[in-house]
Amino acid sequence: MTSNLAAVSYGVNLSPVELEHLRKVLSDVGASFTSEARSGDERFGVYTIGLAVDGGTAADLAEIRRRVADAAGEGVDTAIVPAGLRGAPRKLLIMDVDSTLIQQEVIELLAAHAGKREEVAAVTEAAMRGELDFAQSLHARVAVLAGLPAAVVDSVREEVRLSLGAAELVAAFKAAGHVVAVVSGGFNQILGPIAGQLGLDYWIANELEIVDGVLTGKVLGAVIDRAAKEKYLREWAAAEGISLEHSIAVGDGANDLDMLGAAGIGIAFNAKPAVRAVADAAINMPYLDAVRHIAGV
């Protein structure tokens, strides 16, 4: 059985030496080259090789990814992507929000107004590394916000900045007729305006409780946690009639792992080591729109 794949390399400095080394690694795993193309812009370069390889099991693909990752040079990452995903007429892109779609962690921005930023940041880091239960950690972090005026939410919304290339990534997927969704352990009050601005098809986050114009330190309803992120990926893909094999998930923390694992390809974006270790691909530069090159959009 022959599988058709693409090796997509990207980095701020794609040197000929690194690319030649990649070609050797791919040859050593028995891949034959069917095409090659260069793209990118002044920020980063992209080099894509079409591959034909014997064997099409998940284990075969995982082994190729492992060999390529082990041989990667500094500043260059390579995603091994099934050709079926890159060529799919409709795809679903689903992303985390904090430290993925946007540059900040919103809970830390809110906590700063309560004088608790460092304390909350330490808990966030531990949760993203997978050392703490996400729901429990969220409740503990939100509790420090009790008593803050609701106007703080508006102030924080003004501080939020999209990740570099985020708007371009969403626009490219939408223009090509694909579906774009985000699922966040953050908060609807922040995410809603961003979702509207970008024209997202689906979005969900937690809801901060506000009573009489004051934050209560609680969230309403079930927490959007690791399991919920995978659940919404499956629900939204089914609603759109898109196979999970044609979905792309992007995130940076431990609470994204189930979503990354369920998608056709899971991409770790400037992620914690535990996430990079198990994701199908990694982006270790600040440009989120590298995802479009991986997905063939």
pTM of the model: 0.94
Count other C-beta atoms under 10 Å from residue 23's C-beta: 16
Higher-confidence residue of 158 and 13: namely 158
The least confident of 116-130, 203-217, 233-247 is 116-130
Write out pLDDT tens, residues 121-146. Answer: 887 788 778 787 888 888 888 988 99
Report whether pLDDT(56) > 80: no
Q: To which H or E segment does residue 209 belong?
A: strand 202-211
Residue 74 pLDDT: 79
Cα–Cα distance between 147 and 154 in angstroms, integer?
15
pLDDT of 170-214, one tens digit each? Answer: 999 999 999 999 999 999 999 999 999 999 999 999 999 999 999
Strand partners, 4: 52
98 annotated active-site: yes
pLDDT digits (tens, 9 = 90+) for 167-177: 999 999 999 99
pLDDT at 57: 81
Kindly state the percentage of the chain with pLDDT values over 90. Answer: 75
Do 178 and 291 contact (CB within 8 A), yes or no? no
Element (H, E) at 8: strand 2-11
For residue 39, report the phi and psi dihedrals to the nearest 5 degrees: -155, -160
List 41, 60, 96, 256, catalytic entry: 96
pLDDT-wise least confident of 58-62, 157-161, 271-275 = 58-62
Is the predicted pLDDT of residue 2 greater than 80, yes or no? no
pLDDT of residue 59: 83
pLDDT at 266 over 90: yes
Q: Answer yes or no: are the C-beta atoms of 180 and 173 closer than 8 Å.
A: yes
Instruction: Give the 3-state secondary structure of residue 76.
Output: strand
The label of the residue with tokens 């041989």 reads 71
Cα(262)–Cα(248) distance, rounded to whole angstroms? 9
> Which residues, in sequence order, are CB contacts of 172 under 8 Å at separation 6+?
289, 292, 297
Strand-pair partners of 248: 93, 265
Instruction: State the pLDDT at residue 60.
Output: 84
Q: What is the mean pLDDT of the chain?
A: 93
Higher pLDDT residue, 238 or 136? 238
What is residue 197's predicted lDDT score, i.e. its pLDDT?
96
- Average pLDDT on 3-20 reads 91
Catalytic residue of the set 28, 70, 77, 98 = 98
The pLDDT value recorded for residue 148 is 92
Q: How confident is the model at residue 70 (pLDDT cuts 50, 70, 90)?
A: confident
Q: Which of 31-35, 52-56, 211-215, 222-226 has the lowest mean pLDDT?
A: 52-56
Model pLDDT, residue 47: 96
Estimate the share of the chain in helix, then strand, then coil, as percent rounded to the nearest 5: 45, 30, 30
11: pLDDT strictly greater than 80: yes
Model pLDDT, residue 288? 98
Rounded to an integer, the average pLDDT of 219-243 is 96
Element (H, E) at 9: strand 2-11
Pick the more confident residue, 133 or 243.
243
Reply yes or no on whether the pLDDT at 112 is more than 80: yes
DSSP 247-295: EEEEE-SGGGHHHHHHSSEEEEES--HHHHHHSSEEE-SS-TTHHHHHH
* Predicted confidence (pLDDT) at residue 7 exceeds the cutoff of 80: yes
CB neighbourhood size of 283 (10 A): 27
Q: Assess contact for 185 and 225: CB atoms under 8 A.
A: yes
265: confidence class by pLDDT, cuts 50, 70, 90: very high
Q: What is the DSSP letter of 163?
A: P
